[in-house]
């Protein structure tokens, strides 16, 4: 076991699921008299027991379905608790803010994220599960945002997109420190705003109007999607999927808007030409994402591509037929389209299953 490469939490959980499935199948074969008694116990079971114990102690892995359900509940509770504590911190500052002088206000704003960051470090040492440290990290990020915003207000600084770069840097730092995908997504969103604002400024628009031009986010989405291909994220649980899925969602939402409202594009062509261009781009890119997801055995990426391909298709159906077809016929055509898609996916499924090697498992 010592010669094997280290696993992240997702990979370890998949290995645990394989062991449990193997044991369940072994038990079923034994009950049917198809498994010799000498194979029902021994070195394999001892090896699996040691491996399960190692995973549980080092990565806090769930060893059964009940534990997994409880872990999901703990994640939800910790997220809600972080939101509540962040809101409490926000309203606490505003409740008593007027009672402090400028020096005290600055001191409080600087000390809040530092103290919460120290709390994160302390909890990381004493809490093996990581839930409390991650909760404290979310509160620390909220304190950091409050720090930047309030300092700007105290010293009457002009609003700037550079604040989102600072937010993103702190979010990425905490995300990689604690293996926290939520803060990774927050850092990505802050980066979208910062880079989109910069791109908009170069194009001559005010940075506050960043969201009015979806083309601001296309290049950033491509960069985020390609980042885990260049810089591997095996040590970080689910980071590669988070980068690619969120980047794909933002990219396709921008394309979908441009495919229906060409007036918000920078391209110097007629609205009809711009919309047609982005419609074709949406179909092509979503189909490519489906194929990429199949090739990489990334079910969530494939699902994302399927969803947006269907959205592009149904919006075109709406443009073409909604005004002049009877409504029953319109929805009947949608149903036929769904059946056609089902036939195509079933054929692809058969092809993939035929080409798959024995024991090959799709990544989710």
Q: pTM surpassing 0.85? A: no
pLDDT in tens, the chain (364 residues): 445 566 777 777 777 777 777 777 777 777 777 666 655 556 677 777 777 777 777 666 777 777 777 777 777 887 788 888 888 888 887 787 778 888 888 888 888 888 999 999 999 888 777 788 889 999 999 999 988 998 888 888 888 999 999 999 999 999 999 999 999 999 999 999 999 999 988 888 888 888 899 999 999 999 999 999 999 888 888 899 999 999 999 999 999 999 999 999 999 999 999 999 999 999 999 999 999 998 898 989 999 999 999 999 988 888 888 888 888 888 888 888 888 888 887 887 777 667 655 545 444 4
The pLDDT assigned to 245 comes to 97
Angle between helices 102-126 and 162-178 (to 10 degrees): 20
Looking at the structure of the chain, the number of domains it has is 2
Burial 143-169 (b: 16+ CB within 10 A, else e): bbbbbbebeeeeeeeeeebebbbbbbe
Please identify, among 63, 85, 102, the residue that sits at the C-terminal boundary of a domain. 63
**How far is it, in rounded angstroms, from Cα 122 to Cα 345?**
50
**How far is it, in rounded angstroms, from Cα 116 to Cα 89?**
11
Please identify, among 35, 63, 91, the residue that sits at the C-terminal boundary of a domain. 63
CB 151 within 8 A of CB 106: yes
- 140 in a structural domain: no
**How far is it, in rounded angstroms, from Cα 239 to Cα 175?**
9
**How far is it, in rounded angstroms, from Cα 364 to Cα 56?**
21
Tokens of 216: 């601001």
- 340 in a structural domain: yes
Q: Which one, of 170, 46, 59, lies nearest residue 120 by Cα?
A: 170
Angle between helices 218-230 and 181-202 (to 10 degrees): 130
CB 259 within 8 A of CB 275: yes
Tokens of 260: 């229906």
- 68 in a structural domain: no
- 142 in a structural domain: no
The pLDDT assigned to 40 comes to 55
Q: Which one, of 118, 128, 119, lies nearest residue 9 by Cα?
A: 128
- 148 in a structural domain: no
CB 4 within 8 A of CB 231: no
- 144 in a structural domain: no
Degrees, nearest 5: CA angle 41-61-9: 115
CB 266 within 8 A of CB 213: yes
Q: What is the pLDDT of residues 245-260, one digit of tens each?
A: 999 999 999 999 999 9
Sort residue 204 into left (φ over 0), alpha (ψ -120 to 50) or beta. left
**How far is it, in rounded angstroms, from Cα 61 to Cα 197?**
41
- 302 in a structural domain: yes
CB 32 within 8 A of CB 71: no
- 127 in a structural domain: no
Domain hosting 40: range is: 1-63
Please identify, among 63, 83, 117, the residue that sits at the C-terminal boundary of a domain. 63
CB 82 within 8 A of CB 138: yes
Q: What is the pLDDT of residues 198-247, one digit of tens each?
A: 998 888 888 888 889 999 999 999 999 999 999 988 888 889 999 999 99
**How far is it, in rounded angstroms, from Cα 341 to Cα 335?**
10
Q: How far is CA 12 from CA 180, 204, 320, in A?
A: 17, 50, 49
């Amino acid at each position: 076991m010592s010669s094997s490469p280290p696993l992240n939490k997702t990979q370890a959980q998949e290995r645990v699921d394989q062991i449990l499935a193997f044991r369940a199948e072994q038990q079923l074969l034994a009950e049917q008299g198809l498994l010799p008694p000498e194979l029902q116990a021994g070195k394999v079971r001892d090896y699996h027991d040691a491996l399960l114990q190692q995973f549980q102690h080092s990565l806090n892995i769930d060893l059964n379905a009940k534990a997994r359900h409880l872990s999901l509940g703990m994640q939800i509770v910790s997220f809600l608790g972080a939101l509540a504590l962040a809101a409490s911190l926000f309203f606490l500052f505003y409740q008593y803010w007027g009672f402090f002088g400028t020096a005290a206000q600055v001191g409080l704003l600087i000390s809040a994220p530092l103290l919460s960051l120290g709390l994160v470090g302390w909890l990381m040492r004493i809490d093996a599960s990581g839930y409390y440290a991650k909760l404290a990290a979310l509160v620390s990020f909220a304190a950091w945002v409050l720090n930047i915003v309030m300092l700007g207000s105290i010293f009457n600084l002009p609003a700037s997109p550079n604040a989102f770069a600072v937010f993103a840097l702190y979010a990425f730092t905490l995300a990689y420190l604690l293996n926290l995908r939520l803060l990774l997504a927050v850092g990505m969103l802050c980066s979208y705003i910062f880079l989109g604002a910069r791109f908009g400024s170069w194009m001559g628009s005010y940075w506050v109007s960043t969201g009015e031009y979806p083309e601001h986010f296309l290049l950033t989405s491509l960069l985020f999607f390609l980042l885990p291909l260049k810089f591997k994220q095996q040590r970080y649980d689910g980071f590669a999927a988070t980068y690619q899925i969120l980047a794909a969602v933002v990219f396709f939402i921008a394309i979908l808007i441009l495919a229906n409202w060409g007036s918000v594009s920078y391209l110097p062509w007629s609205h009809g030409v711009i919309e047609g261009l982005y419609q074709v781009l949406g179909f092509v890119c979503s189909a490519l994402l489906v194929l990429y997801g199949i090739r990489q055995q990334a079910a969530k990426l494939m699902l994302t591509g399927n969803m947006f391909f269907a959205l592009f298709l149904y919006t075109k159906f709406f443009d073409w037929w909604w005004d002049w077809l009877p409504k029953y016929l319109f929805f009947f055509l949608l149903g036929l389209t769904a059946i056609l898609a089902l036939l195509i996916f079933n054929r692809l499924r058969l092809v993939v299953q035929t080409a798959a090697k024995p024991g090959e498992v799709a990544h989710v």
